[in-house]
């Protein structure tokens, strides 16, 4: 924990860093996993941040996996984003910001498809 001095010499703000290893979530205790999920939800990253969203989703999936225990459900067949993804990808295409596998890849943008990009050349 680090303390940041404030203008008032008797007041300090504590900054606490929590490390989360997405590859090791299966080894976390239930208590640690719950703590990490709460921290991921409180992450000050802007809403829509890719890395923050992916981490929160992985934590949530691990919680669901444990909650369902021995049940063998289809966890990924229907997702809330499926409809919106289908709509987006039918009207736009992603232009990466760099080569695949590089951090810059995710700095790209979505651009409108033209008639040649759409199935059957539909407008």
Q: What is the pTM of this model?
A: 0.58
Residues of the chain predicted below pLDDT 70: 1-9, 72-73, 118-123
Output the 3-class SS for the chain. CEEEECCCCCCEEEECCCCCCHHHHHHCCHHHHHHHHHHHHCCCCCCCCHHHHHHHHHHHHHHHHHHHCCCCCCCCCCCCCHHHHHHHHHHEEEECCCCCCCHHHHHCEEEECCHHHCHHHCC
Question: In the prediction, which pLDDT does 51 show?
Answer: 92
Task: Return all residues near 61 (Cβ < 8 A) that are at least 6 apart.
Answer: 75
Question: In the prediction, which pLDDT does 23 show?
Answer: 95
Question: In the prediction, which pLDDT does 114 show?
Answer: 86
User: Over the stretch 52-76, which tens digit does the pLDDT of each residue have?
Assistant: 999 999 999 999 989 887 776 677 7
Report residue 100: phi and psi, to 5°: -55, 140
User: What is the residue extent of each domain of the chain?
Assistant: 1-70, 79-118
Q: How many CB atoms lie within 10 A of CB 69?
A: 6
């Amino acid at each position: 924990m680090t303390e940041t001095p404030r203008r008032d010499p008797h007041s300090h703000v504590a900054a606490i860093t929590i490390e989360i290893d997405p590859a090791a979530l299966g080894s976390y205790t239930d208590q640690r996993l719950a703590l990490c999920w709460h921290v991921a939800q409180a992450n000050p990253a802007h809403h829509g941040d890719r890395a923050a969203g992916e981490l929160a989703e992985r934590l949530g999936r691990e919680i669901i996996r444990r909650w369902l225990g021995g049940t063998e459900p289809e966890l990924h067949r229907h997702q809330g984003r499926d409809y919106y993804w289908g709509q987006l990808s039918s009207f736009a295409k992603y232009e990466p910001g760099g080569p695949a596998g590089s951090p810059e890849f995710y700095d790209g943008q979505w651009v409108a498809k033209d008639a040649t990009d759409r199935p059957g050349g539909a407008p």
